[in-house]
Amino acid sequence: MSLIVSPDSKDLSWLCLISLLLLLLLLLRTSEVVTASGQAGSNGNMTYPALFTFGDSILDTGNNNNLRTLSKCNYPPYGKDFPGAIPTGRFSDGKVLSDLITEGLGIKELLPAYLDPNLQNVDLPTGVCFASGGSGLDPQTGGGVLTMEDQLKQFNEYVGKLNAFVGAKNASTILNNSLYLLSAGNNDIALTYLTAHLRPMPFPAYADFLVNSTATFIRNLYALGARKFALLGALPLGCLPSARATVGGILCAELANQDAQLFNGKLSSVSSLLSSELVDSRIAYINVYDPLLNLIQNPNQFGFRVPNVGCCPVLTLLCNPLNPVTCPNIPDYVFWDGAHPSEKAYRTIAPTIVQACLNM
């Protein structure tokens, strides 16, 4: 014979209380995951709920790893200074600007690549990286990498996933209040125009083409809910180790620097025009040319010793995968390979970018 004991009213009260506490904990956890508006970050500043990055290798955190392209770096010695010394596909010895900016804004420590097979839904509300090393504004730039059109399509796909995860209302709030960071034009100028000569036209006309492409890309992001944009200017391309090598290895290639500056002037102008055109938008041009050039020209002032060559042995631009031996002291070097700054160099210029983003 079974004995059935009915719970008394006191037992029921305790069960109800426990259930209520569990429900409150669940709601609190959900509010932490779904950050629907700007909040105080770990640096104490009111910041953005998420960061989304687009463009080239300055921002790429690993999107090229599984693409059929030579523009990838998921092999040693890349990642030598990354946590766990893992080559994640970042074009550096460690973290890149996407990571340092999202950390500086108080959002999270690392910005995951959208194509990372380990990406989780919980990562979506605080932002991801769509940038692809070797990409550019010109469809002829890159080989097998994600074009800007590809990156836009993936962002559109992301919006659908975000809606499904947090709901349309929360997703809209996140998209409207987040920061959209773009770095594009470097590969177009240095490779497509100056090296491969794929666009036989005067450079001012090519720069107009690139800037108009940028404006179209921003308008398309705006149509998907983006409102706050930071546009990084081109680097001092003539002072990259690969460019110096074309003129003897000592001096910078001045033509490349002049073209980068002309492009930057046009990009700055179009950012102002777009701010007036797109209602409720905030669009800032951020000068990275001068801070990096200052670092290159005055390395000792910033704790560097070698500004003209990369730390790793290179095959044209990237580290040689067959020779993972690097320089003995990475912090001495402004550049990691033939085209990309070291993590220390990125860390030197990142605060200027972060502050500009906070001032928008």
Any catalytic annotation for residue 9?
no
By the 8 A CB rule, do 102 and 127 touch?
yes
Whole-angstrom distance, CA of residue 117 vs CA of residue 66: 10
Helices (H), the chain: 9-33, 97-104, 148-166, 168-177, 186-187, 203-223, 241-245, 254-277, 289-297, 343-358
Q: How far is CA 51 from CA 48, 180, 283, 300, in A?
A: 7, 6, 14, 33
Any catalytic annotation for residue 290?
no
Which of 123, 259, 340, 342 is flagged as catalytic?
Answer: 340
Any catalytic annotation for residue 259?
no
Which of 56, 60, 259, 337 is flagged as catalytic?
Answer: 337
Tell me the one-letter amino acid at 146.
L
Length of the chain, please? Answer: 360
Whole-angstrom distance, CA of residue 26 vs CA of residue 40: 22
Tell me the one-letter amino acid at 32.
E
By the 8 A CB rule, do 335 and 241 touch?
yes
Give the chain's radius of gyration (CA, Å): 23
Which of 56, 57, 132, 259 is flagged as catalytic?
Answer: 57
CA nearest neighbour of 296 among 355, 354, 231, 349: 349
Structure token digits, residue 150? 């590809």
> Which residues 6+ apart lie within 8 Å of 58 measured at CB?
91, 96, 97, 131, 183, 186, 232, 235, 340
Bridge partners of 51, per DSSP, are 179
Bridge partners of 315, per DSSP, are 318
Q: Which residues are catalytic?
A: 57, 337, 340
